């Protein structure tokens, strides 16, 4: 099965000294067995020892950032501080439409991604999280556990637009672009 392959390759990559395993975060790909990225990362983290584990890329307009923060803090704990979060604006329309979610225009999705990164950082800071944005809100949220990494796991921003690169510079720790 695909799960056996994922685990076999994860163990092999860990043994061979690869730097990271980054799993795609799509809700579904037509005709393909698509595992939930965040759940699978927790399992990969549990069976590896050294390799970093992360997403490529989690679409924040599709997944509520507070839930992403909680899941990735859990992966960071399971992995003893090896988690990497890569976020994006979401470009696969089917990911949204298959589950009845609205596929906003590009600029709106980018703004949601940027706001989502700020919300995730708020969740990962010590103490309770209050957040009032245009798209997301938290009131005295206390997402536990907090990540192992300090001040937090790295956040990379994926995208080929100028807007994505600007968010990577202003809010992120790295940029994942795949064109040129």
DSSP per residue, 99-159: TT-----HHHHHHHHHHHHHHHHHHHSSS-EEEE-SS-EEEEE--SSPPSSSS---EEEE-
Local confidence pLDDT in tens for the 180 residues of the chain:
588 999 999 999 999 999 999 999 988 777 878 899 999 999 999 999 999 999 999 999 999 999 999 999 999 999 999 999 999 999 989 889 888 999 999 999 999 999 999 999 999 998 899 999 999 999 999 999 999 999 999 999 999 999 999 999 999 999 998 765
pLDDT digits (tens, 9 = 90+) for 132-176: 999 999 999 999 999 999 999 999 999 999 999 999 999 999 999
Nearest Cα to Cα of residue 153 among 89, 104, 81, 64: 81
């Amino acid at each position: 099965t695909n799960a056996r392959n994922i685990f076999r390759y994860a163990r092999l990559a860990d043994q061979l000294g690869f730097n990271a395993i980054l799993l795609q975060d799509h809700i579904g790909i037509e005709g393909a067995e698509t595992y939930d990225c965040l759940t699978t990362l927790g399992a990969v983290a549990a069976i590896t020892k050294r390799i970093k584990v992360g997403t490529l890329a989690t679409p924040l307009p599709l997944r509520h950032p507070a839930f992403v923060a909680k899941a990735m803090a859990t992966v960071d704990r399971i992995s003893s501080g090896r988690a990497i979060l890569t976020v994006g604006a979401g470009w696969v329309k089917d990911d949204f439409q298959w589950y009845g979610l609205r596929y906003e225009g590009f600029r709106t999705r980018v703004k949601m991604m940027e706001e989502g990164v700020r919300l995730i950082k708020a969740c990962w800071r010590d103490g309770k999280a209050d957040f009032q944005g245009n798209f997301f809100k938290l009131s005295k949220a206390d997402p536990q556990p907090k990540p192992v990494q300090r001040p937090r796991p790295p956040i990379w921003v994926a995208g080929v637009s100028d807007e994505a690169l600007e968010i990577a510079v202003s809010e992120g720790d790295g940029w994942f672009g795949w064109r040129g």
